[in-house]
Amino acid sequence: MIMMFNGKIALVSGGTRGIGFNVAKRLVEEGAYCYITGRDEEHGRNAQEALGKSSSYVAVDVMDEAGVAGLFATIEKQHGRLDLAVNNAGVTTSRALVRDLNLPEWRRVLDINLVGPLLLMSHEIKLMSRDVGASIVNVSSCGGVLGQPRQSAYSTSKAALNMLTQVAAVECANPASGHNVVRINAVCPGPTLGGMNTDERLRANPASTEEKIQSTAMKRFAKPEEISAAVIWLLSEQASYVTGTLLSVDGGFSAGKF
């Protein structure tokens, strides 16, 4: 059987659960060696055990510059290159109005959801641009495509991540620059089970849960594997002419009002 990513070296930040874990699982199943990161070491060890010997867990905070540099030094020392990366680490925020600004929380959300991917991408591109067929996917959100009340920090961070994705894609698209092309895209999921939407959270907030369901044309949450399928496609050679794209996988959330 021909595997899509046989021999490839991959990195999934926030890869210990939810969408990130599902992406890592698919990568390993398709022949890649996959590094996963996350701050919760128990989740990390459990995820690495589930993924098996073709994976490594590295406990790192995406805002820790020294820790991130150490992660990429480890990848380079062990494998000499990086082929695929998925920047999935992120946080949401309390549902506050703009007029009720909580500046420390705003900064925390932007740091993790925007500055974190920027730091990761800087290292990823340097390690990737020497090889052919490299690809990065940023996990954004439908909240970065359309404004949502009480989500100013989260939506702003994801909208900025979308623009960062496109700027980096343009910078890395031209082989005449002297480096190999790195394709860079983003997926923009709608409400998705797992991760930020655990069963416990959904049961504890039935009104919010119903609001999320009704926000989609398909009237349901996405399954993590439905989002990971889109990520895998963007990483693959099947999307070899796709870069700078923001792919909505949101059950019709961004299609209009209904």
Summarised one tens digit per residue, pLDDT across range 184-239 is 999 999 888 877 777 777 777 888 888 888 888 899 988 999 999 999 999 999 99
Tell whether the model's pLDDT for residue 258 goes beyond 70. Answer: no
Beta bridge partners of 58: 37
Instruction: In whole angstroms, give the CA distance from residue 101 to residue 49.
Output: 41
DSSP 2: -
Identified catalytic residue from 33, 35, 154, 241: 154
- Residue 146's CB is within 10 A of a number of other CB atoms, namely 15
Per the model's pLDDT, the better-predicted residue between 24 and 102 turns out to be 24
Angle at 240 between CA 235 and CA 246, to 5 degrees: 60
Amino acid letter, residue 10 = A
Tell whether the model's pLDDT for residue 92 goes beyond 70. Answer: yes
CATH tag, 9-250:
3.40.50.720
Across the chain, mean pLDDT equals 92
Give every strand in the sheet of 9-13, ordered side by side. 55-59, 33-38, 9-13, 84-87, 134-139, 182-189, 246-249
The structural domains of the chain, with segments of one domain joined by +, span 9-250
pTM: 0.94
Question: Residue 154 catalytic?
Answer: yes
Residue with tokens 């929380």: 105
Beta bridge partners of 55: 34
Q: Is the dihedral of CA 111, 114, 115, 119 positive or negative?
A: positive
Tell whether the model's pLDDT for residue 132 goes beyond 70. Answer: yes
pLDDT tens per residue across span 94-131: 778 999 989 999 999 999 999 999 999 999 999 997 77
> Nearest Cα to 24, choosing from 112, 119, 88?
88
- pLDDT value of position 1: 66
